[in-house]
């Protein structure tokens, strides 16, 4: 990321010298994830919403829905798109204005994980096949950046989708014999077929660490995000940064991410906590 905040040489040396001894600045192991909290339904006016905290990183996602026409090449599928905004509120490194490439990359990777895992069931999205479908916009705002926005955005999108309710629809035929949609008052949760969870790694020198902090990211050579479905299939990958990985390093990351995403998935019930506190607890 080009707009990354500067880091002093002393701090850089400090992070590096700890890594040599197998330690990290916040005391975690290389393959240890920070505490995750997800607070659903933070914005009840949205069809679905969630705040996700990974350590001090905070991200909010909201789902809005409208009825529209499907894309021509996928007439029997609803539309789900994600956008990410790096708003200036979240970091001195972010500026206002239209999304730049960092934000676009975040959005596209989140989008890919949701789409390629076939997360949202088409049964919930298609109203009249080929004519009327639900179009879901997952808009994600980064609120506080302490690294690993990729995992935070994906988890926020997922949690918001898990709590999304859409109005039920009735298909009516008018006098001209044209089918139309009547939106009812009652709401029904959407059905999710798959649950993608992602893990992001940062490579600093020859060390590879999971769930990097902002400071770790700012001296990292490269980044790797891997998304797994509950069937242990990889549904999205994104390498970033101007460094490189060896094939063996990638294979090792796959093995670690396969384990870690399973752990996160098994703890999802305790991670998602409607009573959770969304802000910083201590400063």
Q: Does the protein bind other proteins through residue 238 (CB under 8 A)?
A: yes
- Span between the terminal Cα atoms of the chain, in Å: 26
Minimal distance, residue 235 CB to other proteins, in Å: 5
Among 245, 260, 271, 272, binds other proteins (CB under 8 A): 245
Minimal distance, residue 251 CB to other proteins, in Å: 5
Q: Which is nearer to other proteins, 231 or 275 (CB)?
A: 231
Q: Which is nearer to other proteins, 2 or 35 (CB)?
A: 2
Helix (H, G, I), strand (E, B) or coil at 107: helix
Binding to other proteins, residues 1-40 (CB under 8 A): 2
Beta-bridge partner residues of 141:
60, 85
Q: With contacts defined by CB under 8 A, how many residues of the chain interact with other proteins?
A: 35
Among 35, 174, 242, 269, binds other proteins (CB under 8 A): 242
Sequence length of the chain is 283
Residues contacting residue 188 through CB under 8 Å, at least 6 positions apart: 124, 165, 166, 167, 168
Beta strands in 145-233 (DSSP E): 165-173, 179-189, 197-204, 207-210, 222-228
Q: Supply φ then ψ for residue 167, to 5 degrees.
A: -60, 145
Give CA–CA dist 106/104, Å, rounded.
5
Q: Which is nearer to other proteins, 38 or 126 (CB)?
A: 126
Among 15, 51, 59, 107, binds other proteins (CB under 8 A): 107
Minimal distance, residue 232 CB to other proteins, in Å: 6
Minimal distance, residue 59 CB to other proteins, in Å: 19
Binding to other proteins, residues 217-236 (CB under 8 A): 224, 229, 231-236
Minimal distance, residue 114 CB to other proteins, in Å: 11
Binding to other proteins, residues 67-106 (CB under 8 A): 101-102, 104-105
DSSP 192: B
Q: How far is CA 220 from CA 46, 174, 238, 279, in A?
A: 36, 61, 15, 27
Beta-bridge partner residues of 243:
none
Q: Which is nearer to other proteins, 34 or 203 (CB)?
A: 203
Among 57, 91, 117, 200, binds other proteins (CB under 8 A): 117
Q: 65 and 187 in contact (C-beta within 8 Å)?
A: no
Give CA–CA dist 218/7, Å, rounded.
7
Interface ranges with other proteins (CB under 8 A): 2, 101-102, 104-105, 107-108, 112, 115-117, 224, 229, 231-247, 250-251, 254-255, 258
């Amino acid at each position: 990321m080009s707009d990354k905040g500067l880091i002093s040489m002393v701090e850089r040396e400090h992070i590096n010298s700890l890594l040599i001894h197998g330690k990290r600045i916040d005391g975690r192991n290389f393959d240890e994830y920070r505490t995750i909290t997800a607070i659903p339904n933070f914005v009840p006016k949205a069809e679905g919403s969630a705040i996700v905290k990974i350590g001090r990183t905070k991200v909010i996602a909201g789902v809005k829905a409208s009825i529209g026409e499907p894309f021509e090449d996928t007439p029997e599928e609803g539309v789900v798109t994600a956008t990410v905004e790096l708003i200036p509120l979240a970091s001195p490194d972010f500026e206002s204005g239209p999304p730049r490439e960092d934000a676009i990359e975040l959005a596209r990777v989140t989008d890919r994980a949701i789409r390629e895992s076939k997360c949202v069931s088409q049964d919930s999205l298609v109203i009249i096949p080929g004519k009327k479908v639900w179009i879901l916009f997952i808009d994600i705002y980064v609120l506080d950046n302490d690294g690993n926005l990729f995992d935070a955005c994906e988890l926020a999108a997922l949690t918001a989708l898990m709590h999304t309710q859409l109005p039920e629809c009735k298909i009516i035929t008018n006098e001209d014999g044209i089918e139309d949609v009547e939106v009812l008052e009652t709401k029904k949760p959407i059905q999710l077929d798959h649950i993608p969870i992602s893990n992001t790694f940062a490579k600093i020198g020859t060390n590879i660490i999971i769930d990097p902090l902002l400071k770790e990211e700012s001296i990292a050579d490269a980044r790797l995000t891997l998304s797994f479905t509950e069937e242990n299939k990889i549904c999205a990958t994104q390498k970033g940064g101007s460094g490189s990985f060896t094939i063996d390093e990638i294979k090792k990351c796959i093995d670690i991410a396969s384990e870690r995403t399973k752990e996160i998935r098994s703890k999802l019930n305790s991670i998602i906590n409607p009573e959770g506190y969304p802000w910083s607890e201590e400063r």
